[in-house]
Each structure stands twice: as structure tokens, then as C-alpha cells.
């Protein structure tokens, strides 16, 4: 692989990982351009959307495109790619090492374990329920229903793969579980249970990223992320 091809592949792979992990558009473009500049190519032009990444150099007539696949939230991957790009900018590693490191991030950097995600969903549910004016009597039930809702969302997302259907099934399960919990005397307020348990389903990072993209002038990507 010649140096120009390696540089282009490195920039595109870094941008793809960051976009698929929930990074802002302007951060992806900045990282790609900084990698190119650190490699001696200050004529790079990058254009990033939520579904595709474009990269070219003004002194050449070739443009390469990378498709952005399924998007998620993995801040650990974003941090890892940014750190490698900084190491490359400060000449701590060379271009082949940068490419190898980014490939390793793509293949090996894990997400948090499923049990930890479920536990976190339960903690978020019950604490926010109480913050919104709930009572201690609904605390444990909200914790358990929050776990159930997040499990249903994960299950539907992995096996059905239909956009928004996972959140619908999770919300339906939360509603049914809340009604049953109150009916059998395990909790006292259906409203408190539902309000707290749906909080892990709210895409807080995506909404924040959407606003940051809009404020940075990336209106299309910002609106797409926010809907």
C-alpha cells in the first residue's frame, strides 16, 4: 500500500469509527484533517454526514468515500482514536503504526458488558424517578422495571433490527410492568414508575451531539441526529 493510499485509508477509518461511535461531525472532520496535515498533506478536504464520509486532496483528482454503518454510543473508541491522532501529530508514532492502532481499536475496543449496562439502566431509572418527585415506595420497583425496559430494548435491537421498534417494545413492556406492579401492590404510582423507567431509553448523548452539530453549522447532520 503506497503512502497516499495508506493516508487516505487511515483518515477514512478514523472518521468512520468516530461517526459510528457517536462523535460530532466537526470533530470527525477536524481529526481527519489533522491526521492528513501531520502527514504533510495540508490540502485535504473532508466532508462528513451521518451516513457517509468523503475525503480528497486538492492536488489530486481522486476522492474516496466510506460508508457509515450502524451508529451507537461508544465514547471509549472516540477517545482512543483521538489519542492516537495526537500521538501521530507529535511524531510519537508513524503512519503505519497509526493505521494499525486504529484497526485495533475498530476490532478490539469493547463496549461495556451487558450486566453492567442493565445495572446502570436500573440505577438511572430509580434515581431520576426520585429526582422528578417520586417516592421511596416506588424506588425498588422503578429499578427493576428500568432493567426490564432496557433488556427489552437491547433484545429487540439485536434480533428485530427495525428502526424505532426496539424503543416501542421497551416502552410497551415498561407500561405493562408498571401497571402490574401497582396492581399487585409492589408500588404506588404508575406515573412515577413509567417516567423513571423510560429515562435510559432517552438518547441524551445523541440529542446533545445534534445540538452541537447544529451550532457548528452542520445543519443536515444535526437535524438528522435529533429526529
Rounded distance between C-alpha atoms, residue 127 and residue 196, angstroms: 8
Rounded distance between C-alpha atoms, residue 142 and residue 196, angstroms: 6
The predicted model scores a pTM of 0.78
Sheet strand arrangement including 63-67: 44-48, 52-57, 63-67
Rounded distance between C-alpha atoms, residue 198 and residue 89, angstroms: 43
Please classify residue 203 by burial: count the beta carbons closer than 10 Å to its beta carbon, then call 0-12 exposed, 13-18 middle and 19+ buried. Answer: middle
Rounded distance between C-alpha atoms, residue 120 and residue 146, angstroms: 9
In tens, the pLDDT along 84-123 reads: 999 999 999 999 999 999 999 988 867 778 899 999 999 9
In tens, the pLDDT along 158-203 reads: 888 777 888 899 999 999 999 999 999 898 889 999 999 999 988 7
Amino acid at each position: 500500500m503506497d503512502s497516499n493510499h495508506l493516508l487516505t485509508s487511515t483518515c477514512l477509518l478514523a472518521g468512520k469509527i468516530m461517526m459510528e461511535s457517536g462523535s460530532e461531525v466537526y470533530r470527525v472532520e477536524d481529526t481527519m484533517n489533522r491526521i492528513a496535515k501531520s502527514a504533510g498533506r495540508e490540502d485535504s478536504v473532508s466532508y462528513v454526514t451521518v451516513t457517509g464520509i468523503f475525503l480528497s486532496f486538492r492536488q489530486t483528482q481522486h476522492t474516496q468515500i466510506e460508508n457509515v454503518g450502524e451508529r451507537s454510543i461508544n465514547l471509549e473508541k472516540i477517545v482512543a482514536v483521538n489519542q492516537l491522532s495526537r500521538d501521530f501529530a507529535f511524531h510519537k508514532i508513524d503512519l503505519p503504526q497509526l493505521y494499525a492502532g486504529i484497526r485495533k481499536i475498530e476490532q478490539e475496543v469493547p463496549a461495556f458488558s451487558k450486566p453492567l449496562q442493565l445495572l446502570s439502566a436500573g440505577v438511572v431509572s430509580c434515581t431520576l424517578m426520585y429526582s422528578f418527585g417520586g417516592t421511596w415506595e416506588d424506588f425498588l420497583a422503578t429499578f427493576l422495571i428500568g432493567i426490564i425496559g432496557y433488556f427489552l430494548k437491547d433484545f429487540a435491537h439485536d434480533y428485530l433490527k427495525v428502526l424505532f421498534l426496539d424503543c416501542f417494545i421497551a416502552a410497551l413492556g415498561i407500561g405493562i410492568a408498571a401497571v402490574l406492579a401497582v396492581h399487585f401492590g409492589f408500588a404506588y404510582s404508575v406515573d412515577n414508575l413509567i417516567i423513571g423507567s423510560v429515562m435510559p431509553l432517552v438518547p441524551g448523548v445523541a440529542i446533545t451531539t445534534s445540538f452541537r452539530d447544529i451550532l457548528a453549522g452542520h445543519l443536515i447532520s444535526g437535524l438528522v441526529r435529533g429526529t
